[in-house]
Amino acid sequence: MGRYRFAVEYLGTDFAGWQIQPGQATVQSELEKALEVCLRVPTAVVGAGRTDAGVHGSGQVAHFEGEDGLDVRRVQGSVNALTSDSVFIRRLEACAPDFHARYSALSRLYRYRIALRPTALYGSISWHPGMPLDPDLFRRALKDVVGPHDFVNFCVPREDGKSTLCNVLRADVEADEVFLTVTLEADRFLHKMVRSIVGACFDVARGALPGALIKDILAGSYAGERTWAPARGLCLEKVVYRDYEY
């Protein structure tokens, strides 16, 4: 048996997330169904990140096991013909048997797009809150997430005993006439962590909460109401590996 990897992009609007869920359409289940038809054997797909319902991906990475010597061009073409228009894979290739889409990743990069005005063309991949924002206030608040921190207060509560430490390598904000685009890169992300961070910075940028909000949440000294940004504006855009560029 051999191991194969590929990059995959998807519009998450109609999916209940990446991970298989009984009775629900997910990206993982659609890929596995397509591969089973193509390879004539049930095939498990492992992704680099378990994006939530409604979250998009332009640079998700996954791997699967298959017979040695697969015609990767044929398999890639078949998978793309068998999946919906909302899913597309690229750069399918054989890889080392110890490559793991999730555990071999060095970092993951997400972008969140806040629409500063209504947009018909990009409405499905952005969030339009309909209120003025100060990009400089957003940018200053966001800088406080950079570095290694315990992000337990920026995720959905968990009781699995796993670490909530993450190292945020990059946190940038760009603004133009249409979008305020937030870029976050870290060694790992917790469940809904990006949406929680973006929502808190949004509260600062609209003048609802103080500029030290991120620091206060990290320290556990703020327990009040705050915004969690909706899924539609979030996209997993890149997963970084030592030996795979796509």
The amino acid at residue 194 is: V
DSSP 141: H
221-239 in b/e form (b: 16+ CB < 10 A) is: ebeeebbebbbbbbbbbbb
Annotated active-site residue in 14, 52, 144, 203: 52
Assess contact for 69 and 15: CB atoms under 8 A. no
From 140, 136, 110, select the one nearest 229 (Cα to Cα).
110
Are 203 and 114 spatial neighbours (Cβ–Cβ below 8 Å)? Answer: no
> 14 an active-site residue?
no
Q: For residues 244 and 60, give the distance between their C-alpha atoms in angstroms, rounded to a whole number.
A: 12
Residues tagged active-site: 52
